[in-house]
Structure 1
Amino acid sequence: MLGPTSYETMKFGAELIAFASITIVSYLVFSMRRFLANSFGRKVSNYTVLGVLIFWSGYLVNLLNEIVQTHFMKVLDDVLVATGSFIFVISAFQLVKGLPLSAKPGKVKIIGSSIPSGAYYVTGLAIEELLRMLSGKRVLAITRNPAIWENLGIPYIWLSNIHTPNSIEPTKLAPLLHHVLANSDRETFVVLDNIDYILLYNGPEATLKFLLALKDNLLSKNGGLIVFADPRSLPSQVFGVIEREFLPL
């Protein structure tokens, strides 16, 4: 049988290994904070990082309590671990609440002639005229003006900070990209009528990365992407990339 000294040594070793593991996980979460913010929003990112750091602090106090045992440190250990866990659970609920989207592409019933799959940009084309060019295609709009698309019977994703089954925050580009591609096939065209709004929240680099990733993935499925791009409201850098990567319509 193990004596008291051997038991305490093994217990301290186990606590040390657990603390080292939690430290590594905490470091990884902290290093991913920008990715979390871009994917799920700053609120979820901040809650996640805060919860993990408080939880880590609780384990640090727990380890110190093995060296200098006091009633105060034991209570502080429990409070920190419980608080960190609670904050982390809140961030998980925020993450789940922000992800679901119900909008899926719908078939255009307006009679017209269909354009071939590809990447296009428009500067002043009416939406009704655009839909005639997409006759028979499955279309999904990413928009700041949901009423227009709803009146035309076209499914849409509303970029907004208001939570609805059809909305997503403008900073959550990764979940938006995932949802669109998961519901797209060779007959799908995505129409983006609000690139300036995405640009406002994410900046040129992240916006262009999202736009080109969406374009390349849709084209790989023989689908299409149409972007409303007004050179008067877009930075020359952004519009220049659109002119090179997209065909005018």
Structure 2
Amino acid sequence: MNFIPYLNFFSRLVLFVAAVYKATKTREKGWVTLSIAFFIFVMDIENYILKPLGITINHNVYQIVSKIPNFYIGILTLGAAFMLKYGSIKPKHILIVGTTLIVSYIWIFAMAIGLFHGNFTLASLCPSWILGGSLLYLSFVLCEYVIEKKSLQILFPLGLAGVGILNLTYPFTREIEWFYPLAFFGAAIFRFIAAVGALKMVIFSPKIPERRIVKALEPGAYWTEDERKALEIASKMNTVMITRRYPVKNNGNVLVYWITKVKEGEVKENVYAISPTKIDILTDLIARAFRVGYNLLYIDAVEFLILENGFKATAKFLYTVKDIAIGNNGSIVLVLNPKVLQENQLKIIEREFKKI
């Protein structure tokens, strides 16, 4: 199994590159934080820097410093997971991360003064559980980023979950001679699985529209009560459609995201079902679509998005995708019934979108 260290390094490197790529494209704080965590994963100073240089660490010192990366990676991963799930760090999340940091700080000194009397299992409990628990939570969060559950994307959270479980059991299995090599090999396999899924997730790209240059509407942000008129415009352009209606028919220049809670993933070619609560993921998908040639964003699911996410979150989503559309010399059209909105909500929409 001499190839395992190389597989470990390659898998860690791929995870780091995938996170950096995602952070660069989305500029989300969660992916930036996760990139830092994965970079520490890649470094593995002892195996990849010190050993090749012939530098050894004092055994007593090593018993302490070897646990520190687990704390760092675990805390960064936990923070990244909170930001990816909630869009920001809230006070309760800061409290959780801060408490974890304090426990880590105390644990390091407990090891330094020999509180565990050389008992490997006791000394390893906290660092292994923090890392393993944070990876499991991250895998749960990343499952929400998977558009097609039957695609290779699902391997990303599944692989991280496998690594997380192995870390949770590490304090108890490390001393089992016959099991440890299998666990080490299993961790390498799980990291490789996660790396494959991460690559699939970050390189996912919608089909390029068949008609590349079509303009039936001047670039800008609009709203209308006339659904028929909006659909007529959409039929003439390279359209990304965010809709509550199941698309019976579709053509090559329309990319459909069907907003529903009953199904997820690819329904048919160029038609994807997605949960109404996944507006952060939807934002990223819309940005990718405009980068490959789509030039109109059609949304008739505003009321449903408000119902599921609240007006504030939905308005923030609409502002963001409006900027994406206009920034790519495109347009956005909202189809909505003003009677279902409160007066102040409609005024907010009208400030950013012109009625047609």
TM norm structure 1: 0.68
Is 1:164 matched with 2:265?
yes
Equivalent-residue separation in structure 2 for 1:216 and 1:86 (angstroms)? 34
Match of 2:218 in 1: 116
Q: Match of 1:151, as an amino acid?
A: K
* Stretch deviating more after TM superposition (55-64 or 157-166): 55-64
Deviation of 1:223 (Å): 0.7
Letter in 1 for 2:78: V
1:87 deviates by: 1.9
- 5+ long unaligned stretches in structure 1: 1-5, 40-45
Deviation at 1:157, TM superposition (A): 0.4
Residue 177 of structure 1 and its aligned partner are, at CA, apart by: 1.2
| 1:104 to 1:194, Cα distance in 2 relative to 1, 3 A | farther
SS in structure 2 at match of 1:170: coil
1:121 aligned counterpart, secondary structure: strand
Instruction: Supply the distance in 2 between the matched residues of 1:135 and 1:37 (Cα, whole angstroms).
Output: 35
CA contact 1:138–1:188 (8 Å) conserved in 2: yes
Q: How far apart are the structure 2 equivalents of 1:16 and 1:158? A: 46
C-alpha displacement at 1:124, in angstroms?
3.3
Identity of aligned residues (%): 19
Q: Is the 8 A contact 2:209 2:294 kept in 1?
A: no
Matches within 5 A, 1:172-183: 172-183=278-289
What does residue 11 of structure 1 align with? 62
Alpha-carbon contact 1:118-1:224 (below 8 Å) kept = yes
Structure 1 counterpart SS, 2:329:
coil
The answer to which structure, 1 or 2, has the higher relative contact order (CA under 8 A, 6+ apart) is 1
Equivalent of 2:116 in 63, 69, 74: 69
Q: Which residue of 1 aligns with 2:34?
A: none
Secondary structure, aligned partner of 2:242:
strand
Q: CA deviation at 1:184?
A: 1.2
Mind listing any 5+ residue stretches in structure 2 that lack a counterpart? 1-56, 88-92, 148-152, 154-200, 267-271
1:37 aligns with 2:138: no
Does structure 1 conserve the Cα–Cα contact (< 8 Å) formed by 2:67 and 2:124?
A: no
Pick one of 146, 163, 167 that aligns with 1:97. 146
Partner letter of residue 215 of structure 1? K
The one-letter code matched in structure 1 to 2:61 is: M
Rounded to whole Å, the distance in 2 between the matches of 1:208 and 1:14 is 47
CA shift, 1:240, in A, is 0.9
Aligned length: 226
Q: RMSD between aligned alpha carbons?
A: 4.2
* Structure 2 length-normalised TM: 0.50
2:236 to 107, 121, 136: 136
